[in-house]
Copies of this chain bind each other. A is one copy, B any other.
Amino acid sequence: MSQNATVRHSWVLRHRPSGEPSPDDFALREDAVPEPGPGEVVTRTIWLSIDPYMRGRLREQQTYAVAIQIGEVMTGETVGEVIASGDPQFAPGDVVVGARGWQSHCVTLADRLVKLPRQGAPLSTYLGVLGMPGATAYRGITEICQPKAGETVVVSAASGAVGSVAGQLAKRAGARVVGVAGGPEKCLFVQETLGFDDCIDHRSMDLRRELTASCPSGIDAYFENVGGAIQAAVFDLLNPFSRVAMCGMVSQYNEPEFPPGPNLGFVVGKRVLIQGFIVSDKPEKLAEWRALAAPWVADGTLAYREDVHEGLEEAPAALVGILGGQNFGKLLVRVGENPT
């Protein structure tokens, strides 16, 4: 499906999945590319971000954001090129981040958009290492995990968009950083390319024993993306005064009923801090992070990896995949060509 100047394609929710979603839960809708109203901007989508939080939007019960309704367009952050503008701040040819939707074209209020530089970092990075996932890692590490030199920090989903940045930030703070990832290829990447001190394969027979061996001084901070058996193994190794940044628990996002969790007695005795957070609660942190991290991306000291699916038609399958850990790096859908 190629991008068309007059036809808009949009993925809408057809029915709510129970358990693992399937591409069949979504329907592709076609209509005309709209004209912008006053204060609105129409973009053609270049990049669409696929993130685990989207599974929560498919639940009937509200999680931390309003559920997607049946027939409604799926949400997702995009980078796009302005093709028509009803606002004087934007003109055709501008490249922007902030429009949302699994769509070939988005209509967005101008005040939600941020113009991106045409020089410098690749546009896709504004959805990953320089975007919401990077800012998520930044907040979790600096505000909650607060690693100190010599401490041990564990990061789950270590090769993913958030985990890869979280671990590299903990390394910059001088901590020993141990990743947890799925499979030998990801673990190698986490150690060799991201520079973590070690990475445990959570598919291994004895996660708990390997984690214990890799954290001989216990665990001082944990950046939680996964939950489940990994959470249980990490919690047993937490040190007194340790910090847990609760960013996500992707291992259970497809579960209709959540399983019991850890007994919290250890939280008292070990004076553990467990703090949930959502990056969008502090939107100002995104710009702060971009300013901080852009030079690191430019000079190559902040590594990242992207997993690109080609074409808007791939969006549902990409979401199914990320919930099963099939992506390798920041998951993106290329919807349209870069501006010329």
Report which A residues bind B (CB closer than 8 A): 56, 63-64, 227, 231, 240, 246-249, 252, 258-278, 281
Q: Which of B240, B249, B259 contacts A268 (CB 8 A)?
A: B249
* Beta-carbon contact of A262 and B259 below 8 Å: no
**Bound: A59/B264 CA distance, A:** 17
* Beta-carbon contact of A267 and B246 below 8 Å: yes
4 additional A-B residue pairs with CB within 8 Å, beyond A261-B262, A267-B274, A274-B275: A64-B240, A227-B265, A246-B267, A267-B276
Q: Which residue of B lies closest to A281 (CB)?
A: B271
* Beta-carbon contact of A249 and B276 below 8 Å: no
* Beta-carbon contact of A246 and B268 below 8 Å: yes
* Beta-carbon contact of A247 and B260 below 8 Å: no
Among A262, A268, A273, A281, which residue has the most Cβ atoms of chain B within 10 A? A268
* Beta-carbon contact of A268 and B261 below 8 Å: no
* Beta-carbon contact of A273 and B271 below 8 Å: no
**Bound: A266/B252 CA distance, A:** 12
Q: Which of B63, B227, B249, B268 contacts A247 (CB 8 A)?
A: B268
Chain B hits for A278, CB < 8 A: 268-269, 271
Q: Which of B260, B263, B277 contacts A252 (CB 8 A)?
A: B263
Chain B hits for A240, CB < 8 A: 64
Chain B hits for A266, CB < 8 A: 276
* Beta-carbon contact of B275 and A273 below 8 Å: yes
**Bound: A154/B236 CA distance, A:** 28
* Beta-carbon contact of A274 and B264 below 8 Å: yes
- Taking the closest CB of chain B, its distance from the CB of A241, in whole angstroms, is 8
* Beta-carbon contact of B258 and A265 below 8 Å: yes
* Beta-carbon contact of A272 and B276 below 8 Å: yes
The 8 closest A-B pairs by CB, nearest first: A260-B260, A258-B263, A267-B276, A64-B269, A274-B274, A261-B263, A268-B276, A271-B276
Chain B hits for A270, CB < 8 A: 64, 276
Chain B hits for A258, CB < 8 A: 263, 265
A262 with B260, Cβ < 8 A, contacts A270-B276, A274-B274, A277-B271 known:
yes
* Beta-carbon contact of B264 and A249 below 8 Å: yes
Chain B hits for A281, CB < 8 A: 271
- Taking the closest CB of chain B, its distance from the CB of A25, in whole angstroms, is 21
Among A56, A64, A276, which residue has the most Cβ atoms of chain B within 10 A? A276
16 A-B interface contacts by CB (under 8 A): A63-B269, A248-B268, A249-B268, A252-B263, A258-B265, A261-B261, A261-B262, A264-B274, A266-B276, A268-B277, A269-B276, A271-B278, A272-B275, A273-B274, A273-B276, A274-B275
Q: Which residue of B lies closest to A247 (CB)?
A: B268
Chain B hits for A267, CB < 8 A: 246, 274-276
Chain B hits for A247, CB < 8 A: 268
Q: Which of B263, B274, B276 contacts A260 (CB 8 A)?
A: B263
Chain B hits for A261, CB < 8 A: 260-264
**Bound: A248/B274 CA distance, A:** 16
* Beta-carbon contact of B277 and A249 below 8 Å: no
Chain B hits for A227, CB < 8 A: 264-265
**Bound: A260/B231 CA distance, A:** 13
